[in-house]
């Protein structure tokens, strides 16, 4: 049978754990910001295998998975709290988790399986302790980190049979089951690829002057930019319409449209046409102001034409090209509006 000294040389040399400055075994990961994170033995002890505080009972372990639409446990640490809806680079994700997950998959299918041959002799105390140590110190932190519930349940079952005493053959079958659950659970962890991350990571870029003037539009502007980045093009346009409607109201108010904030922007646009025609243009200043008003009206028309279909009714849905077109024209209109008022 494998001796403890052999385990230390073969397993611990390639696994992601090490001894920190306090002499505790820790799991080293690197978060997306580049900071090294440690999980000490005290933290692992609070995630006990088996029953009791921090563990799971056989009844809990036998429960079915969550239905569609329900949150499945905690997300990985890199995606919790304020980072829950932030993007993480593929490089950082692989640097943080890739090697650790790959090593543990190899340990499950290789080293552990080789140490538990298919015969019916009772598992020795040395091999029992070694298996539980490996699962507890190396595998379990990764399982809990990613919320691999099915794998955690199977680990709890494995710990239960090891505590009760079992044969090498039975232990081997449970190790195989843990390995299968490990792979299956990882296949249920999804990450959305974002083709144009700039709109998501810097949603307010290019809108600085607009937001400085209309701070209450910040949320709709941010949501419009993030929606277009996530391919939710119709949602993007709906947020932009709220922004442009406010802009049209401010435009009409500047030109003297009455009760402008109680009117829809289509009505305001029609009234603005007549008011611009009546603007004086005797002096250079008046001519410049009238030309600026006319240009702003043209930018508003560009948004309206892009927003509506050929029958001049708002469309039900918008595709990528239309959403990006309306986004650009809305930003242009709002930027010129700030300069006008």
Which of 165, 186, 207 represents a domain boundary (last residue)? 186
Q: Quick one: 26 and 160 in the same domain?
A: yes
pLDDT of residue 45: 29
Q: Are 120 and 15 in a shared domain?
A: yes
pTM above 0.75, yes or no: no
According to the model, what pLDDT value does residue 76 have?
66
Residue closest to 76 by CA, chosen among 24, 44, 19, 30: 30
Q: What's the pLDDT at 310?
A: 53
Same domain, 81 and 110: yes
118 with 245, same domain: the answer is no
Supply the pLDDT for residue 85: 66
Say whether both 22 and 128 belong to one domain.
yes
Q: What is the pLDDT of residue 74?
A: 60
pLDDT for position 32:
37
How high is the pLDDT of residue 49? 38
What DSSP line would sit under 43-81, residue for residue?
HHHTT-SSSSTTS--HHHHTPPPPPTTS--SPPPGGGSG
Low-confidence spans in the chain with pLDDT less than 70: 1-86, 309-314
Residue 191 located in a structural domain: no
Number of domains in the chain: 2
The residue among 125, 156, 186 that closes a domain is 186
Strand residues in the chain grouped as ranges (E): 17-19, 25-30, 36-39
Could you tell me the residue range of the domain that residue 132 belongs to?
A: 4-186
* Predicted local distance difference test score (pLDDT) of residue 185: 86
CA distances (Å), origin 282, targets 275, 279, 285: 16, 10, 8
**119 and 234: one domain?**
no
Q: Based on the domain organization, do 227 and 115 belong to the same domain?
A: no
């Amino acid at each position: 049978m494998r001796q403890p000294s052999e385990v230390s040389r073969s397993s611990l040399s390639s696994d992601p754990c090490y001894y920190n400055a306090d002499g505790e075994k820790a799991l080293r990961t690197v978060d997306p910001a580049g900071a090294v994170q440690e999980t000490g033995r005290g933290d692992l002890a609070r995630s006990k295998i088996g029953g009791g505080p921090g563990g799971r009972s056989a009844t809990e372990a036998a429960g079915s998975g969550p239905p569609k639409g329900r949150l499945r446990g905690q997300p990985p640490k890199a995606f919790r709290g304020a980072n829950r809806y932030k993007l993480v680079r593929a490089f950082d994700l692989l640097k943080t988790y890739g090697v650790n997950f790959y090593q543990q998959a190899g340990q499950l299918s290789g080293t552990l399986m080789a140490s538990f041959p298919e015969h019916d002799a009772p598992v020795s105390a040395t091999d029992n302790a070694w298996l539980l140590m490996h699962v507890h110190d190396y595998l379990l932190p990764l399982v809990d980190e990613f919320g691999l519930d099915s794998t955690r349940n199977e680990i709890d079952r494995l710990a239960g049979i090891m505590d009760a005493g079992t044969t090498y053959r039975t232990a081997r079958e449970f190790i195989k089951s843990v390995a299968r659950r490990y792979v299956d659970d990882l296949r249920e962890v999804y990450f959305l690829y974002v083709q144009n991350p700039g709109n998501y990571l810097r949603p307010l870029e290019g809108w600085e002057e607009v937001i400085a003037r209309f701070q209450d539009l910040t949320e709709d502007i941010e949501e419009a930019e993030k929606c277009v980045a996530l391919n939710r093009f119709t949602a993007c346009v709906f947020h932009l319409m709220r922004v442009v409607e406010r802009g049209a109201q401010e435009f009409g108010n500047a030109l003297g449209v009455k009760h402008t904030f109680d009117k829809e922007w289509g009505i305001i646009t029609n009234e603005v046409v007549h008011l611009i025609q009546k603007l004086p243009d005797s002096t250079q200043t008046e001519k410049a102001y009238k030309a600026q008003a006319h240009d702003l009206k043209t930018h508003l028309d560009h948004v309206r034409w892009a927003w509506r279909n050929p029958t001049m009714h708002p469309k039900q849905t918008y595709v990528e090209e239309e959403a990006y077109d309306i986004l650009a024209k809305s930003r242009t209109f709002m930027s010129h509006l700030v300069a006008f008022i």
